[in-house]
Structure 1
Amino acid sequence: MSIASQVIDIIAQQALLEPSDVTTDSTLEDLGIDSLGLVESIFAIEEAFDITVPFNANAPTESEFDISSVGAIIKAVDGLVKGQS
């Protein structure tokens, strides 16, 4: 399974949607994911990929981890995964 499809699956689960309803252009707000859902998504992503996401839930806009869209999250996770090897 690709990083993109895993991230989409995780986000879809948080939004209680089908993965097919989640596009790379979707924002978390579009999908109805609130701040708690975002934190749970980050934890799930960290666990799924065995990475540490540089994200501060208290200051999400100041984070190096781009959460502006699903595509941005996929790109950020991809970078973190590649940075590990």
Structure 2
Amino acid sequence: MSVKDKVIQIIAEQGLLDVADVSLTATLEELGIDSLGVVESIFAIEEEFDIEVPFNANAPQESEFDISSVATIISAVETLVAEQT
């Protein structure tokens, strides 16, 4: 399974959605994922990929990790995974 597919699966689980309902252009808010869900998604991504996500839940807009859409999350995770190897 690709990074993209795993991230979409994690986001779908957090939003209690079907994977098919997770659009790349959607924001987490549009998918019904609240701030707690965002944090839980970040933890799940860290655990799944064994990476550390530079995300500050207290100041998400100041984080290096872009959560503005599903596509930007996937891109950021792909970068972190690539840097790890």
Write out aligned runs for 1:24-39 (5 A).
24-39=24-39
- TM-score, normalized by length of structure 2? 0.99
Q: In the alignment, which residue of structure 1 is the partner of 2:22?
A: 22
Q: Distance in 1 between matches of 2:23 and 2:77?
A: 16
Which AA in structure 1 matches 2:77?
Answer: V
Give 5+ residue unaligned stretches, structure 2: none
The ranges of structure 1 where at least 4 consecutive aligned residues each deviate by more than 3 angstroms after the TM superposition are none
Deviations 1:1-57 (A, max 9, x none): 000000000000000000000011010010000000000000000000000000000
The one-letter amino acid paired with 1:80 is L
RMSD: 0.3
The count of residues paired between Structure 1 and Structure 2 equals: 85
Identical residues among aligned pairs (%):
68
